[in-house]
Structure 1
């Protein structure tokens, strides 16, 4: 049995990059959702950005489940 080390390294690199990116986007969502309530218009923008970040995270998870199931 031979191991394709180049392919294994690529899978590791992509997995690491995707994990760091997904955690970063989720963190931005948490920061946006905890915006100061007295901010007025900037609070609305922060909340909208937070919802977009959470939506992106949900889409990434759904795509991962799709890849596993397909």
Structure 2
């Protein structure tokens, strides 16, 4: 039995890059939701300006959707 070390290294590199990228995108989504919730308003509650809050929430949900799509694609590759 011979091991193709170049193919193994390629798989390792791609897996590492995709994993770090996916964790980074998910982290951006969490940070986006946390920033939206942590901004204090003048009344002591939570408030972010309307356009900024909607943009932050949309960006966070887009990050989560990208993560879900990547996971779904990975499952598709395993099953197919």
| Pairwise same-fold verdict (TM > 0.5) | yes
1:12 matches 2:12: yes
Please give the alpha-carbon distance, in whole angstroms, between the structure 2 residues aligned to 1:43 and 1:4.
Answer: 51
Q: Tell me which stretches of 4 or more aligned residues in structure 1 moved more than 6 Å.
A: none
- After superposing the two structures, state which structure 1 stretch, 45-54 or 31-40, moved more: 31-40
Backbone CA RMSD of aligned residues:
0.8
> What secondary structure, in the 3-state scheme, does the structure 2 residue paired with 1:39 have?
coil
Per the normalisation by structure 1, the TM-score is 0.95
Count, aligned residues: 70
1:56 paired residue number: 66
- After superposing the two structures, state which structure 1 stretch, 32-41 or 20-29, moved more: 32-41
Matches within 5 A, 1:29-44: 29-34=29-34, 35=36, 36=39, 37-40=46-49, 41-44=51-54
Per the normalisation by structure 2, the TM-score is 0.84
Please give the alpha-carbon distance, in whole angstroms, between the structure 2 residues aligned to 1:46 and 1:63.
Answer: 26
Unaligned runs of 5+ in 1: none
